[in-house]
Amino acid sequence: MTARPLVTVFGSLHYDIMVDSPDRPRKGETLAGSAWFPKCGGKGGNQAVAAARAGVPAAMIGAVGDDDFGRALVANLDRRGVDRSRVRTLGSAGSGMSVAIFDADGDYGAVIVSGANLSLGEADVAAAADLLARTGVLVLQNEVPDAANAAIAAAARAAGGRVLLNAAPARPLSDALQRQIDILVVNAVEAADVSGRAVAGPSDALAVAAELAGRFPHVVVTLGGDGLVYAGAGEAPYALPAIPVRLVSTHGAGDEFIGVLAAGLAQGKGIRVALEAANAAAAKLVATPENER
């Protein structure tokens, strides 16, 4: 297809507090961690940075608070080469933030506080009309209101772009949003939530992806160490294996995958070529220490 090499991300910006711990605490338990450090994130912010790092122009539509976290978040987008001219600063809400606790195996659990991210809506869609007219791929996640996602997805498609939804974290998707999705990307938990069927491994994922391809033109189910599966309307489903690496941290792997996938599609690459590049980028990220990313 003809390249339209601009990735626009509509979504979340969070200031992350990262904590290293021997394990993730159980209910009522206090553990002694070994280190903590701040990191600029949010699925939206991470995905925009990943797209820019993959070599395409990337723009971010979002909102932050008028606070130190917000100033750090927009400064990070500037450093990473992301156009943040459509990121609003609110005096009425704090910036989004999260706390992520990493265990000794490099896996993690997190709590997010959405803050200013929940303010995204119709006004942001209207203000981005000129940007959407140049956008090849619009990237969405589930960390901002569903109605806002549906509105900007409809505007992007009307302007000739494609819409990629990373349906994370898992939540019900409105019919209005589902009708606008060209590429759905979910992990095993999210695939089960969207389909209503359990996903215990690659064979289940292939079956669920094929089923979901009756509702969405392209479906990707990511499976961590088991790779990923793809199904498209009228296409035979297939799997791509994970690339073996030494695991350092899984944090941000999904967002790296999404950003690189969107970049490839915006450049006019076929879906399989874009998926292979995204799979390789995610593998490289999980083998890279946080302070070197």
Residue 136: give its domain's CATH number.
3.40.1190.20
Q: Is the pLDDT of residue 1 over 70?
A: no
**27 lies in some domain:** no
**What single letter denotes the amino acid at residue 22?**
P
**237 lies in some domain:** no
**37 lies in some domain:** no
Give residue-wise pLDDT tens across range 217-274.
999 999 999 999 999 988 899 999 999 999 888 888 999 999 999 999 999 999 999 9
Query: For the chain, where are the E strands, in sequence order?
Result: 7-10, 14-20, 35-41, 58-65, 83-90, 96-102, 108-113, 137-141, 162-166, 183-187, 218-222, 228-232, 238-240
Q: Are the C-beta atoms of 106 and 247 separated by less than 8 Å?
A: yes
pLDDT (average), residues 169-182:
96
Name every residue whose Cβ is closer than 8 Å to that of residue 185 and which is 6 or more positions away in sequence: 164, 165, 166, 167, 220, 222, 257, 258, 261
Pick the most confident of 2-11, 64-73, 196-205.
64-73
pLDDT score of 140: 98
Q: Domain containing 46: what range?
A: 7-12+42-94+117-181+243-292
**159 lies in some domain:** yes
**Could you tell me whether strands 7-10 and 58-65 are parallel, antiparallel, or unpaired per DSSP bridges?**
parallel
65 to 70, 90, 147, 149: CA distances (angstroms): 5, 5, 21, 20
% of the chain with per-residue pLDDT over 90: 89
**76 lies in some domain:** yes
Give residue-wise pLDDT tens across range 135-168.
999 999 999 999 999 999 999 999 999 999 999 9
pLDDT band at 129 (very low <50, low <70, confident <90, very high): very high
Mean pLDDT of the chain: 95
pLDDT score of 136: 97
Instruction: Please count the structural domains in the chain.
Output: 1
Pairwise CA distance, residues 198 & 151, whole Å: 30
pLDDT score of 2: 54
**80 lies in some domain:** yes
pTM for the whole structure: 0.93
pLDDT score of 292: 80
**79 lies in some domain:** yes
Buried b (16+ CB within 10 A) or exposed e, 143-177: bbeeebbbbbbbbbbebebbbbbbbbeeeebeeeb
pLDDT (average), residues 89-114:
92
DSSP run (H or E) holding 274: helix 271-286
**What single letter denotes the amino acid at residue 260?**
V
